Amino acid sequence: MPVRPVHLLPLVLAVGTTSAQAGSAPKDADRTTVEQQSSRSCENPTMDQQIEALMDHHGIPGVSVALVDHGDICLSHYGISTREVSTNAAVNDDTLFEIGSVSKTFTAALGAWVQQGGAFSLSDSAASIEPDFEGRPVGEVSMLALATYTAGGFPLQFPAGVDDANIHDYFLNWRPDFAASTKRLYSNPSIGLFGLLAAQSEGVSFAELMQDSVLPTLGLDATWLAVPDDQASHYAQGYNGDDQPVRVNPGPLDAQAYGIKTTARDMARFIQANIDAHQGNEGNQDNLRMAHALLATHQGYAAVGEMQQGLGWESYALPTTLDTLQNGTTAEMALEPQPTSMLEPSGEPQPQRWYHKTGSTGGFGAYAAFIPARQQGIVILANKRYPNGERVEAAWRILETLEH
């Protein structure tokens, strides 16, 4: 069901390059091509210092950073996209990165987009969409519980042996570990099932709905679930902790949970669209529907301490602190059930909050954050994973420079 592309925002796109860590790439690599596309680099010394320190400390081959500031976007690129070729491979505007669980914010947008169209309600049960679930514990779980990881104890990853062929049986046989809505346990199967059922309620596959409708409506033309052959040369090589080349492995519901590959430029456009949704959008029906969908993903539906769980996004009331944000991205938050209070969202925009999401695959690390009240945001994409807390700190330090 293709939807014609609708750009939600007027973009003033300024792109450029900065130097990478010493020895990462030839100094003049791709300079002519990139400069022809550029109107302005970020020219942010704090950004350079933060990113180069991370690259040096963790041996990260390449990084792309995008800054969003009152409708203006700048891009800075560092290092190389791959060590596997002898020719120049400098990171540039077209470099595609795996963004891991930041993909969940796209799945959330898809689900909210479908929900805005009336195909389902967040209070609907899984069984109301998938009749096979009737009479099973999974069938009683609400779409909201699936999207907020409060269904009762879906694990972080599918157990060994679960694949596309038997995933339906896995859900049929699932048993909760605790009562729904009492604890949050971060989970790929949980939000994966949310995305699967959201698309099913629309009568179309998740991949088709995402690639042919949601992404074009957002104006994202370099964001993929499966990287096309003609874009393969732009796909960065990821590296694990042993500096071995790795790419994300296929798995059940990978598209919904961690499957997006994209550029810093497209991620900045996505961030800008999320910010603009708070400003009030004018446009046709598709434009308004997407703006309302994005706002729905920002609502706080469950509280874990100071963190509010939205759909995909996690948020904190302003003013917040760096320590608070870092505490929300620890391994404990991802791996252990956290006592949760369910909230009754007002439905009104909540601009005075810091929204963010981390994401990792075996060879990539991503972070995205935005502050609607300040009309500012940041994206940091790297082709090696490194600690979440350090991503948050780098973003915090860089965004601090925009306040002066």
Catalytic positions: 101, 186
Could you give the CA distance from residue 294 to residue 110 in angstroms, rounded to a whole number? 9
Handedness of CA 171, 175, 177, 178 (dihedral sign): positive
Give the burial string for 56-87 (b: 16+ CB within 10 Å, else e). eebebbbbbbbbbbeeebbbbbbbbbbbeeee
Could you give the CA distance from residue 13 to residue 11 in angstroms, rounded to a whole number? 6
Give yes or no for a cis peptide into 319 (omega within 30° of 0).
yes
> Burial of 250 by CB count in 10 Å (0-12 exposed, 13-18 middle, 19+ buried)?
exposed
Could you give the CA distance from residue 369 to residue 47 in angstroms, rounded to a whole number? 15
Q: Confirm if 67 and 13 have CB atoms less than 8 A apart.
A: no
Closest CA to 401 of 21, 12, 55, 49: 49
